[in-house]
Amino acid sequence: MGRNDGVVKKNAKPGHTIWDRPGYLVRRLHQIHVAMFLEQVADGEVTPIQYGLLSILASRPNIDQLTIGEELGLDRANVTDILKRLESRKLITRVVDPENRRRKICLATPAGLALVKRYERQMQDCQKRLLSPLQPSERQLFMDLLSRLVEANNESGRTSLKPNGDAFSSGRTEKIKKNRI
C-alpha cells in the first residue's frame, strides 16, 4: 500500500497520518525484514537476532554476555534468554571466566559456526532483497542515513549499541559529520 493510493490525504499535516511518522515506518520495515529473513534464511531455524548473535561469536569468539548485549544493543535479560535458547539447541556454549567468575564467556559450537557459514549467502540475499526497491546509489545513501540516525540517537535507546566492543568509531563519526548537509 503506497502513500498515494487514496489511503493518505494529500493535504494532511506531516505527522498527522501514521505513514508520515518515521518511527512507524522503521517499525514496519523491521517487521518486513523479519518476515523476509524467516522465509529466506535457514528455513526459519533461527531469528535475525539469533543469527546476528551467532555471527558475532563466529567473528569474535570468547566474549562475555555483557559484550554481546552491547554488540547487539540488547539488555542483559534479552541476551540471556537468546543465549539460553541457542545453548539448548547446542549452537553455543557458555563457560565461567576463570579470571572473573561473575562473567560467562560465550562460544559458538561447531554446529553454531556451521550454521552461520551455511546460511551466510541466504542472509546476504535477504539483505539485498530488502533494499532491492532502491536504486544502487540510493541503497548506499539509505544505509548512510540509517546509520547516522542510529548513531545520533544511540544513547536514547534502552541500551546502547557498542559495535566491536566500543562506541561508534570516530572515523565513521567524522565521515558522517562531513557528509551532513
pLDDT, tens digit, 9 for 90 and up, residues 72-101: 888 888 999 999 999 999 999 999 999 888
Q: What is the pLDDT of residues 13-33, one digit of tens each?
A: 665 788 899 999 999 999 999
Dihedral of CA 77/109/41/142: which sign? positive
pLDDT value for 15: 56
What is the CATH T-level fold of the domain 18-133, as seen in this structure?
Answer: Arc Repressor Mutant, subunit A (1.10.10)
The predicted model scores a pTM of 0.78
Q: Which residue has the higher pLDDT, 171 or 14?
A: 14
Edge to edge, the sheet with strand 63-64 lists: 63-64, 100-108, 92-97
Contact (Cβ atoms closer than 8 angstroms) between residue 76 and residue 65: yes
- What's the pLDDT band for 118 if we cut at 50, 70, 90? very high
- At 176 the three-state DSSP class reads helix
**Distances 156 to 1, 73, 160 between C-alpha atoms, Å:** 31, 11, 8
Q: Which three cell numbers stand for residue 160?
A: 546502547
Mean pLDDT of 109-127: 96
